[in-house]
């Protein structure tokens, strides 16, 4: 029996620990916000956080996630950074088809958690593994800047 911590909840798993975390999240835990894209960790649609760092759930096993805090798109709103990113995404109408957006938001939140005021090159580097076939990259970058600005203004009081 394996216990995983997902979005601050303990979840039991009694199956093959080599199962990709993505399949566990979607099929066993019912958290379908994390999407399957390419299956080879190249598109970023399956991005989740392990201990705050972005990883591709399609290539991360349940065993590799054991003992770590897993955050999915369903839990990202529990943090002030996640809330700021989601608000900026909505304010700037980032989403077009939306399929990649959970992975985009997870990567953006990880970036802003590590660097509160990223420049364009920081954003491009952090987001380079996330593909958007609708090409909303300019809006994604603008939303990350907006979230950083909002967080900075909130910190000032």
State pLDDT tens for residues 12-56: 989 999 999 999 999 999 999 999 999 999 999 999 999 999 999
**DSSP, res 35:** P
Tokens representing 113 are 């958690």
| Distance (Å, whole) CA 49 – CA 1 | 22
> What is the per-residue pLDDT for 155?
81
Percent with pLDDT over 70 in the chain: 99
| Distance (Å, whole) CA 18 – CA 35 | 19
Cβ(141)–Cβ(128) below 8 Å: no
pTM given for the model: 0.96
Give the confidence band of 153 by pLDDT, cuts at 50, 70, 90. confident
State pLDDT tens for residues 64-86: 999 999 999 999 999 999 999 99
pLDDT > 80? residue 157: no
């Amino acid at each position: 029996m394996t216990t995983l911590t997902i979005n601050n909840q303990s979840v039991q798993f009694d199956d093959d620990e080599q199962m990709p975390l993505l399949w566990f999240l979607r099929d066993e835990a019912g958290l379908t916000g994390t999407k399957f894209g390419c299956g080879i960790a190249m598109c970023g649609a399956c991005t989740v956080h392990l201990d705050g760092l972005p990883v591709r759930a399609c290539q991360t096993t349940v065993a590799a996630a054991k003992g770590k805090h897993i955050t999915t798109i369903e839990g990202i709103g529990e943090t002030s950074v996640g809330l700021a990113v989601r608000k900026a995404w909505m304010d700037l109408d980032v989403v077009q088809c939306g399929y990649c957006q959970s992975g985009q938001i997870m990567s953006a939140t990880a970036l802003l958690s590590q660097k509160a005021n990223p420049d364009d090159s920081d954003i491009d580097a952090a987001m380079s593994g996330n593909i958007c076939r609708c090409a909303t990259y300019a809006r994604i970058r603008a939303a990350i800047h907006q979230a950083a600005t909002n967080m900075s203004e909130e910190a000032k009081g």
